[in-house]
Amino acid sequence: MSRKLIFTIIVLSFAALELLAVRQEQINTVYEMTKLHREIDAKVSTIDALRIKIETASSPAVLHNAMTTVDEFNGSE
């Protein structure tokens, strides 16, 4: 009876250790996913800021002012 009990305890201990290892892998995976999502959000914010700068620089009003300045400089008007 004692051997069966010891064997059962050892088997349950190994099973518990395996479950802990699986749980730790899940925690590590979630951490890496969170880190990647933060990096992606930072890159998206940078892209949005650049998009706004491009849209501002190529807006019709800015382009019109630039063309007018060039025309005045060249003496076209």
- Whether pLDDT at 22 is above 70: yes
Count of domains forming the chain: 1
Average pLDDT of span 5-19: 96
Predicted confidence band of residue 10 (pLDDT cuts 50, 70, 90): very high
Q: Tell me the per-residue pLDDT of 28-53, one tens digit each, with 9 for 90 and over.
A: 999 999 999 999 999 999 999 999 99
Structural domain of 44: 2-74
pLDDT of res. 4: 94
Residues with Cβ within 8 Å of residue 71, at least 6 apart in sequence: 77
Cα distances (angstroms) measured from residue 30 to each of 27, 34, 51, 72? 5, 6, 31, 60
